[in-house]
A and B are shown apart, each in its own frame.
Chain A
């Protein structure tokens, strides 16, 4: 994010931009657009790989995207990216220009995906401010070899042009490259030239060193000369057919001989106005100096038919097609983060003003009216900012196609991926945290969940396995479900493994199914004896829970042996502002996320129990729950230690429920979540606190970490 200097240096290096802001925005756009292009391209490849051939639309699109990446990377001077993209472009140029059915596509998806991985890796380096120094030579060579093989193979085949292809070439509207035709030549009549009163000139022009495409520039000059003169000869004569002519022109310049009625001053002016000319030499030559019967080369006339009737402008403007006006802009996420922070501060400031202690007891009707209006606007602003930050889950979901493909290919399994509800939206920052967990879960599904083909057939299941990714809204949360129709979790195997690793802290007979399944989230747990390249190292599920919890979400498992497993990730819609219940213990204030609270109640003496070990418990509707004395846990002094004087708040996470004992409830409030300051985090081991927040009266409230209290994290 903060490599502005580096970015600007790059951008300025290319197009010498004066302002740092310009360089930076260009850099950001490059990153954004290229990343998007990579994703899009990957999707096209994956879609077409299934069909085992490429539709012509797809070929054009791949060609175009690679062309764009090449151009942008070249502008930013990332030559390695540009050269790899160029090679893929070449490959697809060949595919596009030749009859598709004759080309062997087998290695094409792999080559393109490998190139994309290379480009993606370089892009990551660029994003983090590291020099993009990856060597793309190996991939370039690989693609070149494949291209050569395809060309050789194509040439070995009988060259009967199919009717369709012949039509394509002749079709003037076709987007395909027009095959070069030799310039039309006609024998000049020497007598005619000498009889004419026109003068003959010879011009020798030299182009600027870095003007590029010298042969085309020469061609352009001939075209222009043709408008006032008759071109007799030019050297080199094969400017469009010979690939080397550009370098010949670069070294020796370009010579053109032409005959015109104009005088030398006019012609000199014509040449001095031409672009990218380093110098030009012009001399008038006598007709008999022409060393041989000249071949007059007449370039095809440019289609610049000025006599053609113009369409009336009125006609055109009444056309109902109006160009769409751009309604989308790209904004740096850092700016949105900042905006969200500011809105958060504003929510706090609003509370500070409205709930100011100085106002207590005052009869201020107008102030209340105004503050209600302020609150309405603040809430709307908050909602709007949050909606701006919302992005669909589609991007993360689509990435899983690639994960699937690679896994299936290497493990030899046949699995299809079904995606439901990819339009569901969540905060951009939360979605970023979802990518890794989803990848692990999908890998786990294929590696551990889906059985081998033989096993599936034996169990009367369809040969092709199925993994479903589903997203849907549930109140203030988003549910993301990864479901497979594999073998399901083996309870006994999990228990045995947990016992072996000393992970059981409870008698296994007392554990519910979901408690057993949750064991697989404990760090270091793995039941798979065969550690594969992809999963089974016992780190995957740990990453899942830690990433999801970081954004205030939770994970749960549901499984039926032999039928399949469903893992549900619950993530909040947004991170920054949560609904919280403020409670007081002694002089300190705490906030519990409302979402974790099941109920709060005053206890009755007869419901309180103490077991022989001294553990305090409470009976609620026939169920027994452990009591957590907040003042003891957090070491806070309070006078309320008797259960009947305080209040109980029942909280739940991962199907574990405890009752928290606090002095009193203060009230419900939207709070802006702030992380604990670094100096506290770094110096003390903080248990049970997830963050802090500012209250309307200026006080600080600590946000409780529900997972810790329910015992899951202990």
Chain B
């Protein structure tokens, strides 16, 4: 059918019914039972699934952040420094690595990660952060503060 007047466009509900439904059914293809076969049921669950997907994009980032933090905490605890001090000291040392990179280093590059904790510890001792003291062992990092304070 061809519409020539603009008024009739209001009643036009998109493309052909088959294609309109097909778009929904394609999204519902992996559902179970009538949720995938009956349009009126499928469309409700597709809408719900899309809402979940929207929320999930945010949640995935939060979940990954939690996982990376867990891994970094596991890494820093091996080297006798706590997470807050570690991140704060790295920031003060202008080592701007994010959680993802730090977690990867903790798992795959343990010696690199140890060097980072050493830098952080030296920095924290030099800056006098409360959670750390001179009794913490620091390997191979020499700063002006290390020379004057020891």
A and B associate in one complex: no
